[in-house]
Amino acid sequence: MNTKRFLCAALGAICSLAFMQAQVRTEQTFEKGWKFTREDNADFAKPGFNDAKWQNVTVPHDWAIYGPFSINNDKQEMAITQDGQTEAMEHAGRTGGLPFVGTGWYRLNFDAPSFEKGKKATLIFDGAMSHARVYINGQEAGYWPYGYNSFYVDATPYLKPGEKNELAVRLENERESSRWYPGAGLYRNVHLVVTEDVHIPTWGTVITTPVVEDGFARVNVKTDLVMPEGKNVGNYRIVTEILNPEGKRISSDDRPGDKLDGNFFNQNFVVYRPSLWSPENPALYTAVSKVYDGETLKDEYTTRFGIRTLEIIPDKGFFLNGKLTKFKGVCNHHDLGPLGGAVNDAAIRRQIRILKDMGCNAIRTSHNMPAPELVEACDEMGMMLMPESFDEWKSAKMANGYHKIFDEWVEKDLVNLIRHYRNNPSVVMWCIGNEVPDQWNGNNGPKLSRMLQDICHREDPTRPVTQGMDAPDAVVNNNMAATMDIAGFNYRPHKYPENYKKLPQQIVLGSETASTVSSRGVYKFPVTRQAMKKYDDHQSSSYDVEHCGWSNLPEDDWIWHDDKPWAIGEFVWTGFDYLGEPTPYYTDWPSHSSLFGIIDLAGLPKDRYYLYRSHWNKDEETLHILPHWTWPGREGEVTPIFVYTNYPSAEVFINGKSQGKRTKDLSVTPENSADSASTANFKRQQRYRLMWMDTKYEPGTVKVVAYNDKGEAVAEKEIHTAGKPDHIELVADRNEIKADGKDLSFVTVRVVDKDGNLCPDAQHLIKYSVKGAGTYRAGANGDPTSIELFHLPQMKVFNGMMTAIVQSTDKPGEITLTATGKGLKSGKLVLMSK
Ligand code: GAL
């Protein structure tokens, strides 16, 4: 045993990998020590530039999320024709009212590892918003305009091995370039990878599972190799080991490269009794590949993958591992609410946990490339993914949108997306666009669709391709829809049957659905179905009866996907509220965030969450009552009660008096509920929610008793009229976090009465202090009209609630969060950072 091996054996397996990799491949992620300015000067790229006065920041960093909010930030004077606007009008808050427009510079001094001539250094950006110009020691090393994509630049010619180096990045965001808040800056991670002259390039492996049968799977691993001129893979040898989900080696293959393969190794494996990846069983295998030149190790590369099958069967639907699977999906924008675009693993995993609890099985990354952290979390936690690429192709939606760079960049952008994520089992289809105006543009739409889909197939022949189309008649007539592997329609589910009949695929995906609007804890009376309804308070009703001119209520989608085998499921607009696009409050400042979310900007479920949960999560009980029952002044007035439950029937009691029993009406079909009277009278809703439209308010207790299909009382729940606000309740999503300076605990803050009932009208200003091994990171209350700054340790609760976020430092220890508010007993919570 040589010394190296001995050391590693003593320190354990993790060390062994890191140590071996340190020999042939090093990776640094540049998080700390960055300098930042919003000024702009070509000298900033120069070596030795004195940036001492610039702001100290850590990356991922979103420069605009710190505000201040203003109606003048990216004010857009235009007509949104897709929303039916015919004349230009002033839009407020369409991009969140945050200062993302303009330039920003980042500079970093870093130590490069020492390496001999011939080795390669690659700088990888997971995403940089936007028009990134990268300078290494004063020389421009690369440019990438699209802010959502990952890209890499060859740093070798500019880097000084073993010395201090200077990295400078200039970013610029144009006005009128986005329809939502895009974030700004180095909002995703930056990595430096140093490899030997012979190495596996970035995203250089392709793992497929060409055969998955009962009892075994064939796994094919293709590994690209970059090597000196005049060499081919025949000069090298590859050893690949396959590890099962428990990390145990189950197969290995040691073979010389075949010069006929040019620049890649081709290896085949058999995995017996594979554990198939699915949302319920997110089993991950690992391929560890080592490349040798003779006996010398040249590179070591790890690829995670899954074994699973995907199939689209005309008329029958989407099958995952042979099992009929409907997409119970949500669309999400990339921002993480109060954290803005700055990517954070804990925040992403919290989102996925909340969605999974709702029964959601898929995310569409609308309308652009996801962060690697999201894809990895979906792989690990079991969430199917539909990564999307563009909101615009050749024809403009925004004056400074993607159309300006489409011709030059579209292929490069698509290639990077697919190469980056083609081994991730959570990715089940690619989406090449969203409601592109090329739908109407002569032959452009079908031709471009075919071109982009062909690129996807070339880069990844294993996954179907879709796009979200909102012009059903146009795209059926011009064959744009027929071109796609999967025709994805945004909204207008009543058109599905007609499209289904005309389309060769014989399946229809609801690529974007619902766009129901609501504000957490806000209830409007009388309870009537409304489109584009506006109120003076800039909120929408949480009775879940309001939507946009082009959209509908959740049940108007469900009924199709439940009853028609060819309707393969949906992606609801949206899972979480996002910054920007406060439709229907286009011009009404302050309005800085959407009302579409099933979950608000603070990550707090709205009532609608329980409606989806009652339908999607078949494994757990849902029994939810709305509205709250604290309505001073409404005594004797009609105050409808809705119950969202997965039980077929329920009975409501107000202060012990039965208000009658309601049962879901399963006789409702898409066909017998299509007329306008049925729509207005909530006929489809009666199949899925239980509604008492005539109940009158009196203070006290609302109790619901749920019955199973045998008529047995099986569950009950009560809500109570709240008394005076008494104290602040703090509940963390995770009480123990990692002492890595990045981990977050999301604390739900509630103003409650002495018995712990939520005070649904409370709007107290709460002030926070954090002591010990953590800091206050940000907060959000889910109020789309609030323009309080997220990062300040104080905020008003919105309808009694908000979320406060605590971040660890890199020292372990206790973290104490204290919350105080006028007239309230304060709250205190102790977290552990390890
Ligand atoms: C769609 C669009 C989304 C969002 C949504 C709001 O047309 O794809 O990005 O704007 O409408 O309903």
- CB 435 less than 6 A from any atom of ligand 1: yes
Domains of the chain, residue spans: 4-13+200-309, 25-195, 325-615, 624-720, 727-833
- CB 571 less than 6 A from any atom of ligand 1: no
Geometric angle at alpha carbon 665, from 664 and 666, rounded to 5°: 105
| Ligand 1 centroid from CA 61, angstroms | 27
| Ligand 1 centroid from CA 77, angstroms | 19
CA 292 to chain centre: 39
Pairs from 740-743 (Cβ < 8 Å, separation ≥ 24):
740/808, 740/810, 741/58, 741/807, 741/808, 741/809, 741/810, 742/31, 742/344, 742/345, 742/346, 742/807, 742/808, 743/345, 743/346, 743/807, 743/808, 743/833
| Ligand 1 centroid from CA 309, angstroms | 31
Does 624-720 match 727-833 in CATH topology?
A: yes
Rounded distance between C-alpha atoms, residue 403 and residue 512, angstroms: 22
What is the atom index within ligand 1 of the atom nearest the CA of 548? Answer: 12
Active site residues: 435, 512
For residue 114, what pLDDT is reported? 87
Q: How far apart are the first and last CA of the chain?
A: 35
Q: Domain 325-615 belongs to what architecture?
A: Alpha-Beta Barrel (3.20)
What is the atom index within ligand 1 of the atom nearest the CA of 551? Answer: 12
> Regarding the domain delimited by 25-195, which CATH topology (the fold level of the hierarchy) does it fall under?
Jelly Rolls (2.60.120)
The backbone torsions φ and ψ at residue 353, rounded to the nearest 5 degrees and listed phi first, read: -60, -45
Q: Does CATH place domain 4-13+200-309 in 2.60.40.10?
A: yes
> Regarding the domain delimited by 727-833, which CATH topology (the fold level of the hierarchy) does it fall under?
Immunoglobulin-like (2.60.40)
- CB 753 less than 6 A from any atom of ligand 1: no
| Ligand 1 centroid from CA 359, angstroms | 23
Tell me the two tokens of residue 546: 């309001």
What is the atom index within ligand 1 of the atom nearest the CA of 470? Answer: 7
| Ligand 1 centroid from CA 467, angstroms | 13
- CB 513 less than 6 A from any atom of ligand 1: no
What is the atom index within ligand 1 of the atom nearest the CA of 83? Answer: 7
- CB 388 less than 6 A from any atom of ligand 1: no
| Ligand 1 centroid from CA 746, angstroms | 28
What is the atom index within ligand 1 of the atom nearest the CA of 435? Answer: 8
Q: How many CB atoms lie within 10 A of CB 641?
A: 22
Tell me the two tokens of residue 172: 């610029």
CB-based contacts of 175, cutoff 8 Å, min separation 6: 74, 101, 400
- CB 470 less than 6 A from any atom of ligand 1: yes
Residue of 85, 366, 512 best suited for mutating to test ligand 1, as the one with most atoms within 8 Å of CB? 512
| Ligand 1 centroid from CA 540, angstroms | 17
Residue of 490, 573, 595 best suited for mutating to test ligand 1, as the one with most atoms within 8 Å of CB? 573
For residue 165, what pLDDT is reported? 97
- CB 392 less than 6 A from any atom of ligand 1: no
* The amino acid at 789: L
Residues of the chain below pLDDT 70: 1-22
For residue 17, what pLDDT is reported? 36
Rounded distance between C-alpha atoms, residue 139 and residue 673, angstroms: 65
Q: If you take atom 12 of ligand 1, which residue's CA is the nearest one?
A: 515
Q: Domain spanning 624-720 has what CATH number? A: 2.60.40.10
- CB 646 less than 6 A from any atom of ligand 1: no
pTM (2 d.p.): 0.96
- Report how far apart, in Å, the C-alpha atoms of 243 and of each of 209, 258, 306 are: 15, 24, 11
What is the atom index within ligand 1 of the atom nearest the CA of 367? Answer: 9
- CB 512 less than 6 A from any atom of ligand 1: yes
Tell me the two tokens of residue 560: 């199709």
| Ligand 1 centroid from CA 468, angstroms | 10
Rounded distance between C-alpha atoms, residue 793 and residue 799, angstroms: 19
